[in-house]
Amino acid sequence: MTDRQSNENYQEELEELRKKIDSADEQIVSLLGRRQKLVNRIVEIKKKHHLPVYHPAREEDLISVRRRQGRKAGLDENFIEELYRSILRQSRMEQTGQMSRKAIKPGADVLIVGGYGEMGRYFESCFSGSGYRVRLMGKNDWDRAESLCSGVDLAIISVPIEKTVDTIYELAPYLPEKAVLADITSIKQEPLQAMTRAHKGPVMGLHPLFGPTTSSLDKQIVVATPGRDQEACQWILDQFTAWGTVVVTSSGEEHDDIMAVVQSLRHFATFAFGQFVERKKVPVARTLEFSSPIYRLELGMVGRLFAQDAAMYAEIIFASKQRRDLLKDYIQNINENLEMVEKGDKQRFISEFNKIADWFGPFSEQAIRESSYLIDKLIERF
C-alpha cells in the first residue's frame, strides 16, 4: 500500500468516525430536549402545589448516581459531575424563570420603603415581575405615607441599618393591621423587637444574603426570622421559594450570632489584610506573576471588597455592639500570637495548627474539594 493510499484510508476512517460523533451529538441534544419537556411538566406540578425549585437531596443523589454510571462507562467522574451540575443549573433556571412569573398571592399590594435604593429597586423588579402591584416610598414621600400604606398586604423596610428602627416606628401607624411588616437588614433582633412593638399585625424579619447585582435568585439564600403570625407570612416565603431561593429559618438571636462571623468578622479580616498590603506598598500586580492559584483566589476576594462601597461595608461591619465586641476579641486573639512570631516558635504553631485542624474536622476535606474545584476553574480562565 502506497503512502497516498494509506493517507486516503485513514482520512476515510476519520470522516466515518466524525459522522458517528455528529450522530451521537445529535442524540445528546435530542435527549436534552426530551429532558426539558419533562422538566416543564414538573414545573406545572410545582406551580400548582407551591413546591420549591431547588431540591438539594434529590440533586446530590442524582449526581452520585451519574458519577457511578460514568465510572462504569470508563468516563471521568468529575467530568460527569460538572456536566450534570451544568444541566441541573440550567433546569433550575428554566423552572425559576417560569415559576417567578406566578404570584403566590395574586392581586396583593407591596410597599417597599426605601424603594429607590438599589435593593429596593431589585425587589420591586422581583415582585412586579410576578404580577404584584408595587409601591415605592422614599425619604421625600412621608407626606404621602397614609395613601401609600392604604390597603397594602406587605410592607418591606429597605433602608440603612441605622435608620431601620426609626423607620419602623414612623411607618407602623399607617399600616393596615392585617399587613405583613418585614425588614431586610443584616441584623434581626432589634428590628424584630421594634416591629412587634410598633405593629399589631403579622411581622417577619428577612435577610437576603445577596446584593442588588445578583443576576439570578437561583440557590441564593434568604434567612427568615419569625416574628408574629407565621401563617399570615407564609405566602412571602413561598414566593421567595418560587423565585428559586433557599429559605433558611432562624431565630433573631441565632441569626445575629452567625452573621457577626459570616459578615462582620470576615469582611473586617479582609479589610485588615488589604490595609496591611496597602501600607507595605506591596506590588500587587507583580505578586500575581509569582502567585499560586489559591493566592490569586484569595487576593481576588480582597480586591472584590475594595471595589465596592465603603459606607455600605462600614455599616455592615460595625452594625451592632455585638459585632464590635467580636472584632475586639479577634484583634486580641491576633495580638496573642505576637510572642510566638517574635520567638519563631514552630512547635507552638504546630500545636495550635493541629488543635484547630481537629476542631474543623471533616469540613477540612470538604474545603479541599471545593477550593480545588475553584482553583481548577481559575487555572482554566487565567
In angstroms, rounded to a whole number, what is the distance separating the alpha carbons of residues 185 and 191? 8
Does residue 6 carry a pLDDT above 70? no
Give the sheet arrangement for strand 221-228, strand by strand: 133-137, 109-113, 154-157, 180-183, 203-208, 221-228, 246-249
Model confidence at 135, in pLDDT bands (50, 70, 90)? Answer: very high
What's the Cα-to-Cα distance from 270 to each of 107, 116, 249, 279, 288, rounded to whole Å? 45, 30, 28, 14, 18
Q: Buried b vs exposed e over 14-31: b needs ≥16 C-beta within 10 Å?
A: eeeeeeeeeeeeeeeeee
**Could you tell me if 302 and 277 are in contact, meaning their C-beta atoms sit under 8 angstroms apart?**
yes
pLDDT in tens, 19-33: 999 999 999 999 999
Architecture (CATH level 2) of domain 3-99: Up-down Bundle (1.20)
Fold observed for domain 255-381: 6-phosphogluconate dehydrogenase C-terminal fold (1.10.3660)
Delimit the domains of the chain by residue range. Answer: 3-99, 109-250, 255-381
**What residue has cell string 500575581?**
288
Euclidean distance between CA atoms 56 and 176, whole angstroms: 38
Q: Would 3-99 and 255-381 be classified into the same CATH topology?
A: no
The pTM (predicted TM-score) of the whole model is 0.75
Sign, CA torsion 236/241/243/246: positive
Residues above pLDDT 70, as percent of the chain = 95
pLDDT in tens, 150-206: 999 999 999 999 999 999 999 999 999 999 999 999 999 999 999 999 999 999 999
Fold of 109-250: Rossmann fold (3.40.50)
Q: In one letter, which amino acid is 324?
A: R
Distance (Å, whole) CA 276 – CA 266 = 16
